[in-house]
Amino acid sequence: MYNDEAGVENHGRFIIDPDRVIQGYEVFTPPVGRHVAETLRQLQAFQLVRKSEGAEATPSGWKPGKMTLKPGADLVGRVWEVWKTDADYTGKLVSETMLLHGINDSQDTIREIAAFMGKLKPAKSYLSIATRPPAEAAVYPADENVLNMAYHLFSDKVKEVELLSGY
C-alpha cells in the first residue's frame, strides 16, 4: 500500500472471512515487519469464533487448545476476572500510561486506570506525559501535580511504579 503523503510503501495484511468481510487488518511503516506466526494465530482465532457461531471469543494472546471466553452481558467489565492473564504467560508484563491534560488526567479517571492496572498486575507500571510536540495541536501533557497524584494512586494498586517525565 503506497502512502502518497510520506512517499513510502507500507506493509499491510487483511484477514477476510469466506463472506468477503474484512475481520482484521494491520498496516506497518517500512521499518517494521509483520509476524507470520501472529497472523496464523489470529486466523485460527477467527476460524474458531466463526465455527462456534459467536458462542466463543478468544482473549488476547489466545492459542488453539487454550481457554476461550463465552460472550455475554455477564462478561462485560469482568474479562480480567474470568481470564487469568498469567495462566500461560511466562514473560514480564509492563505497562505505560500517558497522562494528557483534559483527556485522562481527572482524579476519577486516574483511579479507574489504577484499579484496572491493579487487576492486570504488571511487574512495573510507567506513568508518562507527552514530551514531544504532539501530532494534534490540542494535546497537552498533564501537569506535575496530576502526575504526582497518579503516582500515589497507582502505587496503591501496582507493585512498582515509575515516572517518565520531563519534570
**H/E/C letters for each residue in 111-136?**
HHHHHHHHHHCCCEEEEEECCCCCCC
> For the chain, what is the mean pLDDT?
84
| Statement: residue 8 has pLDDT above 70 | yes
pTM of the predicted structure, to 2 decimals:
0.51
Cα–Cα distance measured from residue 14 to residue 80, given in angstroms and rounded to the nearest whole number:
28
Closest CA to 17 of 42, 34, 37, 36: 42
User: Is the residue at 113 inside a domain?
Assistant: yes
**For residue 164, what are the domain limits?**
92-167
Give percent of the chain above pLDDT 90.
Answer: 34
User: Is the residue at 139 inside a domain?
Assistant: yes
pLDDT tens for residues 79-116?
767 766 555 667 788 899 989 899 899 999 999 999 98
User: Is the residue at 32 inside a domain?
Assistant: no
- Per the structure, how many domains does the chain have? 1
On whether the CB atoms of residues 131 and 165 are closer than 8 A, the answer is yes
User: Is the residue at 166 inside a domain?
Assistant: yes
User: Is the residue at 110 inside a domain?
Assistant: yes
User: Is the residue at 26 inside a domain?
Assistant: no
pLDDT tens for residues 12-34?
888 898 999 998 888 877 777 77
Burial class (CB in 10 A: 0-12, 13-18, 19+), 15: middle
